[in-house]
Chains A and B, each alone.
Chain A
Amino acid sequence: MALRFFGAAATVAVAVGMTASPALAVTEIQWWHAMTGPNNDVVVKLANDFNASQSDYKIVPTFKGSYADTLNAGIAAFRAGNAPGIMQVFEVGTATMMAAKGAIKPVSDLMKEQGEKFDPQSYLPAITGYYSTAKGEMLSFPFNSSSMVMWVNLDALKKAGIDAPPKTWPEVFADAKKLHATSPTCGFSSSWITWGLIEQFSAWHNIPIGTKANGLDGFDTVLEFNNPLETKLLENLVELQKDKSYDYSGRTNTGEGRFTSGECALYMTSSAFYPNVKANAKFNYTAVPMPYFPDAKDAPQNSIIGGASLWVMGGKSSEEYKGIAKFFTFLSDTDRQVYLHEVSGYLPITKAAYDKTKASGFYEKNPILEVPLKELTNKPPTENSRGLRFGGMVQMRDVWSEEIEAALAGKKSAKEALDAAVSRGNQMLRQFERTATK
């Protein structure tokens, strides 16, 4: 390896010396990401394909651990003065990134400066809305997106005498009780507790999580999800938790195995759970849209995304920016998006890619993959369903989870827990507002 590198370097040196041509320097661009397993292969393939498509730039992908680890590594590298060119950041890190003016370069600015063809309208608004300013300027480039769906064990439903998957929350509650009769430890459960029960729930019912369009319009936002509808949901779950008709599965997705093992017949989690279900579920299954309360005025509205986007870091050379802009154009290519969607199970980010996949008949064979897209595009996004942007969101989710846990464990009433989640969250928002560079 070292020898080969030395050899190559020597060849280049000789060639340069002989022809005295201007340096053929290849600009290297570091890309830090958090993708594991098959999705890591996708990242590497994208980088390789791009590098092979031209000779001026070289994208170098590096795996940096979990989403939180990658964000922290990026922050530490920035503080030490050597941030990567591109950084993959999960959706809840969005506020942290955009508050750091000077540390990042907005994608829309980058594309304009570098003269790359870029039309924000060609992307799915439910996806780009999450990563854009209130004025519609795209701050980061959506990479892997998913949404939340409800996974259904059809065999268990049949056994419990339920004809069709539930559509509304009252149906879910009733079915959970029936299913619990056939599985002693679980009827219905869920992962990503705050993403599903607070963030998605609010968007899906068109009610605000916080003021200022859920923080998209400014850091002086105030949380307000301790509303009657949210309280009703939590009260019902607390009641069902008592006999395990609903059974809590933790804050992240560690409980997902309870669906594939057949223990929990109804399970709300990310649509990106698909490859896992496909590989491990030994029963008939499907995925349906998230349930809603039929008495809520606008429900169902549209869901919001999860996943991650690519942020461009500030203070790089214009050569590097040129390369990054070209790479983003490369990623937006319709055929490439179609391919990514079909191999990874993540959502396509452009309208053209979605239409093309649809036209090819792919969804007739894989209807589950279209469920999150139908949710996201169900209605045009409103102030309450465009996304959310709260500072310190990573830790805020922990705080919200703590309070939900207190309610489910019977230590607090549902209303008390939600009030506490809101007031503790607001304290964190004020702290963040103070440090955010304006």
Chain B
Amino acid sequence: MENRAIFPGRLLACLLVFPQLAVSLIFFYWPAAQALWQSFLVQDAFGLSTEFVWFENYANLLKTPEYYHAIGTTFVFSLLVVFFSLAIGLLLAVMANRNIAGVQIYRTFLIIPYAVAPAVASVLFIFMFQPGLGMIARALQRNGIDWNPVLNGTHAMILIVIVAVWNQISYNFLFFLAGLQSIPKSVIEAAAIDGARPMRRFWTIVFPLLSPTTFFLIVVNITYAFFNTLGIIDTATEGGPNGSTSTLVYKVFLDGKAGSDLGGSAAQSVILMIIVVVLTAVQFRYVEKKVHY
């Protein structure tokens, strides 16, 4: 027996779908179409002279070594951010899921970093990691580590990864905790009775059952690392030193805003959009098969 609601006529269905469609059209398809159109133009900052150039902006982009460098940087950065923010988020969720005193307090505190805006998070970390002034920077220097994110690209990368991970852990923690709590206790207890130790229980039962959550979080975190970290990079390193923290989205922002090169910037954003669409499609096509719902 099917349990399905039948709506009379098409009008109501259209009405119900309309708000979502309108939001998608106005906030996604329209700007995307504009970016596509802009990427075929060469224009001055004020929009006073416009020339239609077909794919010249793309061709120029693919000729610059800095662009390939930015692609590499983006993948390294995203991989590090996604891995560490998921791993630490999961670890904390497992810890906070146990029966310990004051667990509600821990949980609340673990969520707080998510309320901090990326740019503000960056400023907090700059205070700690600024060479010569920051507490942690001074401690590192005392221990013989020449910490200098202003000139050392690896240090700068470590700095923005730390900020980006810190800012995202709460989100992952929250979803993992919810995921953990939805795993039936009876399954775990049964395994315990069969003699499985905690580590084994985690890897053979809990982790596979968490896979829908993990999958969802991987998709969301990749998008986060690709796009939402703009504020962090802008505040902490401005893409420097020597472009070593300039990710694709930061380059879109920099070339469009500081450079007033709207055509080139639009071409970059179109490519970025394609990369993310492909990445997400691949994940849904292949990775999702490994997910147990």
Q: Do A392 and B259 contact each other (CB < 8 Å), given the known contacts A185-B131, A401-B240, A402-B242?
A: yes
Q: Which of A250-268 contact B (CB under 8 A)?
A: 250-251, 255, 257-258, 261, 263
Greatest chain A CB density within 10 A among B44, B255, B257 is at: B44
Q: Do A79 and B47 contact each other (CB < 8 Å), given the known contacts A68-B257, A401-B240, A405-B240?
A: yes
Give the distance in Å from the alpha carbon of A434 to the alpha carbon of B131 in the complex.
42
Is B24 located at the chain interface by the 8 A CB criterion?
Answer: no
**Which residue from A103, A392, A402, A403 sits with its C-beta under 8 Å from B46?**
A103
CB distance from B148 to the nearest CB of A (A): 8
Is A437 located at the chain interface by the 8 A CB criterion?
Answer: yes
Is B116 located at the chain interface by the 8 A CB criterion?
Answer: no
Q: Do A395 and B254 contact each other (CB < 8 Å), given the known contacts A96-B45, A250-B150?
A: yes
Contact code string B256-267 (vs A, CB < 8 Å = 1, else 0): 011111001000
Give the distance in Å from the alpha carbon of A72 to the alpha carbon of B256 in the complex.
10
Residues on A with C-beta less than 8 A from B255 are 395
Contact code string A342-379 (vs B, CB < 8 Å = 1, else 0): 00000000000000000000000000000000000000
Query: A117-125, A279-287, A406-414: which lies at the B interface?
Result: A406-414
Residues on A with C-beta less than 8 A from B141 are 185
Give the distance in Å from the alpha carbon of A79 to the alpha carbon of B254 in the complex.
19
Contact code string A377-421 (vs B, CB < 8 Å = 1, else 0): 000000000000000101100100111011011010000000000
Q: Do A398 and B44 contact each other (CB < 8 Å), given the known contacts A248-B150, A405-B242, A409-B241?
A: no
Q: Do A185 and B132 contact each other (CB < 8 Å), given the known contacts A392-B261, A405-B240?
A: yes
Is B121 located at the chain interface by the 8 A CB criterion?
Answer: no
Residues on B with C-beta less than 8 A from A276 are none
CB distance from A240 to the nearest CB of B (A): 13
Residues on B with C-beta less than 8 A from A428 are 259
How many residues on the A side are at the interface (Cβ–Cβ under 8 A)?
41
Give the distance in Å from the alpha carbon of A431 to the alpha carbon of B255 in the complex.
12
**Which residue from B131, B153, B243, B259 sits with its C-beta under 8 Å from A394?**
B259
Give the distance in Å from the alpha carbon of A79 to the alpha carbon of B259 in the complex.
17
Is A110 located at the chain interface by the 8 A CB criterion?
Answer: no
Is B225 located at the chain interface by the 8 A CB criterion?
Answer: no
Cross-chain contact B132 with A435 (CB below 8 angstroms):
no
Give the distance in Å from the alpha carbon of A402 to the alpha carbon of B47 in the complex.
29
Residues on A with C-beta less than 8 A from B152 are 409
Q: Do A251 and B238 contact each other (CB < 8 Å), given the known contacts A96-B260, A392-B259?
A: yes
Residues on B with C-beta less than 8 A from A248 are 150-151
Greatest chain A CB density within 10 A among B45, B132, B133, B264 is at: B45
Residue of chain B at shortest CB distance from A410:
B151
Is B48 located at the chain interface by the 8 A CB criterion?
Answer: yes
Is B49 located at the chain interface by the 8 A CB criterion?
Answer: yes
Cross-chain contact B241 with A435 (CB below 8 angstroms):
no
CB distance from A183 to the nearest CB of B (A): 10
**Which residue from B44, B131, B133, B242 sits with its C-beta under 8 Å from A436?**
B44
Residue of chain B at shortest CB distance from A248:
B151
Give the distance in Å from the alpha carbon of A258 to the alpha carbon of B134 in the complex.
12
B interface residues with partner A (beta carbon < 8 Å): 42-49, 51, 131-133, 141, 150-153, 238-243, 254-255, 257-261, 264
| Interface contacts beyond A409-B153, A431-B264: sample of 9 additional A-B pairs, CB < 8 Å, sorted by A | A79-B46, A103-B48, A185-B131, A263-B132, A398-B239, A402-B240, A411-B242, A436-B44, A437-B44
A interface residues with partner B (beta carbon < 8 Å): 68, 72, 75, 78-79, 96, 99-103, 185-186, 241, 248-251, 255, 257-258, 261, 263, 392, 394-395, 398, 401-403, 405-406, 408-409, 411, 428, 431, 434-437
Q: Provide a sorted-by-A list of 12 A–B residue pairs whose CB atoms are within 8 angstroms.
A: A185-B141, A248-B151, A255-B150, A261-B132, A395-B260, A395-B261, A398-B239, A402-B242, A405-B240, A406-B241, A406-B242, A435-B43
